[in-house]
Amino acid sequence: MSVFENHYNSYINSQLKSLKSRLPKEKRAGNPFVTISRQTGAYSFTIAKALCEYLNKNERRSKCIWAAFDRELIKTIAQEHNLPETVLPYLSETTVSEIQDLVEETLGLHPSHNSLVHKTGQTILHLARLGYCIMVGRAANIITAKLPGGVHIRLISPWEKRLEHIQEYYKMTEPQAKEFILTEDRDRKNYVKKYFGKDIDDPLLYDMVINVDKLKPAKTIQMIGELVFKKFSPH
């Protein structure tokens, strides 16, 4: 069994076990979850992982285990919809022209992008309804906007700081890092605009927009964690 399968199965099993111990009021209110939208290089992976650890440490429901889905989200989508591994690259936040999409679909390279976006949405809704998960990217905040248990976060950071981080994290040269950031940010913005008709930079889509350069990581984690507990408190 792969590391991902252990991660996913542990999460699912913990949610099923915790259902028996949740209060009726808790079920009606919806289960807590977090979505994180991010600028490239704004420490989303680091923050998602640390937030998961913080919530698990401070969560009062002992049978409940929080899980973060960043890179794992793509594999979760594929697993839930029985998609082959060859489709994984096409589940990224990248848009293509309708002609390219049609040609690639006709050649059998992958299902249509509209179909893949739909499947992505189904998986994100499934995870959100189970709750106790942190989902990064793929317009998860928009897809789950009507569910009551969500806390939606946008992470931003100055260009210079993001450039430094990407160079260090991926061992890139400055020109490579610049191109990487511009491409990733453009793809994410286009993805949200094309498939959901929204502007990823619209602050009204989020409960909190955080400049990660202004706060220490521990403070950022604590702020988000306390917002989760406050929003989901049954009192």
For residues 82 and 219, the model is more confident at 219
For position 28, what pLDDT does the model report?
45
Whether pLDDT at 167 is above 60 = yes
Whether pLDDT at 53 is above 90 = yes
Using one digit for the tens of pLDDT, what is the confidence trace for 77-96?
767 766 666 666 555 666 54
Counting other chains too, the contacts that 142-150 makes at CB distance below 8 Å and 24 or more residues apart are: 142/192, 142/196, 142/198, 142/205, 143/196, 144/33, 144/35, 145/205, 147/30, 147/33, 148/29, 148/30, 149/29, 149/30, 149/31, 149/32, 149/33, 149/231, 149/232, 150/32, 150/33, 150/34, 150/35
Residue 105 near residue 114 (C-beta atoms within 8 A): no
- Residue type, position 211, single letter: N
Confidence class for position 105, pLDDT limits 50, 70, 90: very low
Q: How far apart are the first and last CA of the chain?
A: 41
Using one digit for the tens of pLDDT, what is the confidence trace for 14-52?
655 555 455 444 444 578 999 999 999 999 999 999 999
Using one digit for the tens of pLDDT, what is the confidence trace for 107-150?
355 456 677 888 888 889 988 998 899 999 989 999 999 998 89
Residue 114 φ then ψ, to 5°: -60, -40
For residues 74 and 208, the model is more confident at 208
For position 104, what pLDDT does the model report?
46
Confidence class for position 103, pLDDT limits 50, 70, 90: very low
Using one digit for the tens of pLDDT, what is the confidence trace for 178-195?
999 999 999 999 999 999
CA distances from 155 to 63, 104, 131, 191, 215 (A): 30, 34, 21, 17, 11
Average pLDDT of the residues in 155-165 = 96
Q: How many residues does the chain have?
A: 235
Whether pLDDT at 56 is above 60 = yes
Domain 3-12+30-232 indexed as CATH 3.40.50.300: yes
For position 119, what pLDDT does the model report?
85
* Percentage of residues in the chain having pLDDT higher than 70: 68
